[in-house]
Amino acid sequence: MTFEVRLTVKALEQLAGYMAEGDAAGLKELVEAIEALAVDPTTGVRWGPFHWRLRVGRYRAVYSWQEGHLIVLVVHVGRTDDDR
């Protein structure tokens, strides 16, 4: 079963902001990990009743998904040392 991975407008804006800062290698790893959620959305750690957290290097993504629905929704992208 393959899931569709979507990012909210806020998550896309956060990702674009970090790209503008120039950490291409770190962000490439994060984007690859987000894309891999299409195959296995349980890769992250449960974070509250409705969200999961994925940590890749100095970055994190917060996302949600539900069994029976084939969509993973990324709602936040950030750095572990930053509270944007």
Instruction: Please state the domain extents for the chain.
Output: 4-79
Assign domain 4-79 one CATH number from 1.10.10.10, 1.10.287.130, 3.30.930.10, 3.30.2310.20: 3.30.2310.20
Residue 22 falls in which region: left (phi positive, over 0), alpha (psi -120 to 50) or beta:
left
Q: What span, in angstroms and rounded, lies between the C-alpha atoms of 34 and 75?
A: 12
Residue 48 and residue 62 in contact, taking contact as beta carbons nearer than 8 Å: no
- What is the chain's pLDDT, residue by residue, as a tens digit (84 residues)? 789 999 999 999 999 998 888 888 888 999 999 999 999 999 899 999 999 999 999 999 999 998 778 999 999 999 887 654
- 6: which strand partners? 73
Q: Where does residue 69 rank: exposed (0-12), middle (13-18), buried (19+ CB within 10 A)? A: exposed
User: Is-above-0.85 flag for pTM?
Assistant: yes
- Joined together, the tokens standing for residue 71 give 């969509």
